[in-house]
Amino acid sequence: MATIEKISIALPSDMLAMVRKAVDEGDYASTSEVVREALRQWKARRALQVDAEGELRRLWDEGLQSGPSEPLDIAATKRRARVRLTGKPSST
């Protein structure tokens, strides 16, 4: 098990009330347990954020490597979409 160190934190009164309520209602055994759970969730969220940023960078680089864009023909795009949606070409 990891070494446990004690620290002191300051919380706004509304957050402290939420922490104490969670302990009083039996959701957690101690205020430390509440803080540890919050930190675990924060760590997981940060890891997801790092992964998402990495994916965004990868996609950005992929887009740059794909070369310059071409003008978009919106009428042709709409025609293709109608065919996909209805299964038949439109009469217009």
pTM as predicted: 0.63
Q: Is residue 92's pLDDT more than 60?
A: no
**pLDDT at residue 57, rounded to an integer:** 97
Residues 6+ apart with CB under 8 A from 31: 19, 20, 23
Q: Is residue 33's pLDDT more than 60?
A: yes
Cα angle value 77/82/88 (rounded, 5°): 125
pLDDT bin (cut points 50, 70, 90) of residue 91 is low
